[in-house]
Amino acid sequence: MSKIPALLTIVGLTLALTACGTSNTPQATDAAAASSPSGDCTQPGKRSDSVKVTGDFGAPLDISIDAPLEPTTTERTVAIEGKGKDTAKKDSIVEVAITLYNAKTKKVVQPTTYSTDGASLVIPVNDTSFLPGLVRSANCAVEGDRVVTVSPASDAFADKGATGVAAGEPVVFVMDIVKVIADVPTQASGADQPVEEGFPAVALADDGAPTITMPATDAPTDLKISTLKKGDGEVVTDGASVAVAYTGALWATGATFDSSWGSVPYAVFPTGGVIAGFTQALVGQTVGSQVIAVIPPEFGYGPEGTEGISGTDTLVFVIDIVAVAGGPTA
């Protein structure tokens, strides 16, 4: 997802939590920490068991940390057992309210941000974008769980650190599991819609991956959005986090400049964390839909463009909306 989030509006630590994927995080030095964070369930240990948390699920909490904790691997203890039926596994989506502490100093790094409008963070249980310690916290959870996780720096901010966490320092995650989407579709499943004139042609492979063919005309100067498949799922609201499979191509050349296909089953981001044209293509659509968006520069990367995209390039995205979580409900 190298191009889409270039106009992210999220700031602060919440952005940092999602900014250090495995490609930027040094490999752990022991077998347990080096294993896939979305593989087997992370087990409790004496350090995670020692963190005492009180307070009702979804409410402000009190915590006692016997600092400094010095974990060598991530440990995960379920402090409140939920009653959800679906268990998070690889490629599930988990919606959480999170509090983050420095395990060395006991200081709060990220206060609890639970609200009635939705959880503070939506975590894809995979190995591509989030801190490994967060993924280990979310993996194997059910709705209603409160999970306490102690992670070494290798599963957190490594040698880069973050605001409130120095390089090499361990952390404590406390997460209330608000929602689990255990099985996320890999492509849109909605009913085919009539093809609108003037849009690029879209052909789908057996796995749903789109091939986009541009018409032999000049690019439109207005933002144009058309629904190719109409799903019957939840409506995407402004502020929600959306799981999508997508391909982006340049109108001028037809060349693909970014795609989730072939790399991850889906990408997750907030509707407000992407270019304006992409946001408009999402909000108001329903889960299961496939949308094509023709995005002129003013709704894309502007007159300065970005890497591989000039300030005059019109973009074409084909977007499969496979799940929605977080944010206000419709």
DSSP 130-168: S-HHHHHHHTT-BTT-EEEEEE-GGGTTTTT-BTTB-TT
Query: What's the burial of 230, exposed, middle or buried (CB within 10 Å: 0-12/13-18/19+)?
Result: middle
Matching residue, tokens 């009635």: 116
Q: Write down which residue in 117, 149, 181 finishes a domain.
A: 181
pLDDT score, position 12: 36
- pLDDT category at 121 given cuts 50, 70, 90 is confident
pLDDT score, position 37: 84
Number of domains in the chain: 2
Question: Is 177 in the same domain as 195?
Answer: no
pLDDT score, position 264: 87
Question: Is 258 in the same domain as 282?
Answer: yes
Structure-block tokens of residue 203: 């052909």
Q: Write down which residue in 181, 201, 236 finishes a domain.
A: 181
Rounded Cα distance, 196 and 294, in Å: 12
Question: Is 152 in the same domain as 260?
Answer: no
Structure-block tokens of residue 135: 């993924």
What is the radius of gyration, based on Cα positions, of the chain?
21
Comparing 210 with 25, which gets the higher pLDDT?
A: 210
Question: Is 85 in the same domain as 145?
Answer: yes
| Three-class SS state of 204 | strand
H helix intervals, 179-304: 276-282
Indicate whether 20 pLDDT > 60.
Answer: no
Average pLDDT of the chain, as a whole number: 86
CATH number of the domain bearing residue 12: 3.10.50.40
Indicate whether 5 pLDDT > 60.
Answer: no
Rounded Cα distance, 36 and 14, in Å: 23
Structure-block tokens of residue 175: 């997460």
Q: Which domain holds residue 201?
A: 191-325
Rounded Cα distance, 47 and 330, in Å: 41
Indicate whether 259 pLDDT > 70.
Answer: yes
Question: Is 215 in the same domain as 313?
Answer: yes
| Three-class SS state of 199 | coil
Comparing 116 with 137, which gets the higher pLDDT?
A: 137
Q: Out of 15-19, 188-192, 247-251, pick the least confident.
A: 15-19
Residue 314 lies in a domain: yes
pLDDT score, position 329: 54
Indicate whether 211 pLDDT > 80.
Answer: yes
pLDDT score, position 75: 97
The mean per-residue pLDDT over the stretch 184-196 comes to 96
pLDDT score, position 111: 82
Structure-block tokens of residue 278: 């992409």
Could you write out the DSSP letters of every residue in 32-96?
Answer: HHHS-TTSSPPPP-HHHHH-EEES-TTS--EEE--SPP--SS-EEEEEE----S-B--TT-EEEE
| Three-class SS state of 273 | helix
Residue 129 lies in a domain: yes
Rounded Cα distance, 38 and 3, in Å: 25
Q: Give tens-digit pLDDT for 27-84.
A: 222 333 346 787 889 999 999 999 999 999 988 789 999 999 999 999 999 999 999 9
Residue 186 lies in a domain: no
Helices (H) and strands (E) in the chain, counts: 5, 17
Angle value at C-alpha 135, between 131 and 136, nearest 5 degrees: 115
- pLDDT category at 17 given cuts 50, 70, 90 is low
Q: Write down which residue in 136, 156, 181 finishes a domain.
A: 181
Q: Out of 89-93, 155-159, 268-272, pick the least confident.
A: 268-272
User: pTM for the whole thing?
Assistant: 0.84
The DSSP 8-state label assigned to residue 112 in this structure reads -
Indicate whether 250 pLDDT > 50.
Answer: yes
- pLDDT category at 141 given cuts 50, 70, 90 is very high
For residue 280, what are the contacts with CB-CB under 8 A and spacing of at least 6?
223, 225, 293, 299
Structure-block tokens of residue 97: 């309210």
Give percent of the chain with pLDDT exceeding 70. 85
The mean per-residue pLDDT over the stretch 299-312 comes to 92
C-beta separation of 177 from 143 below 8 A: yes
Residue 48: phi and psi, rounded to 5, are -70, -35
C-beta separation of 176 from 57 below 8 A: yes
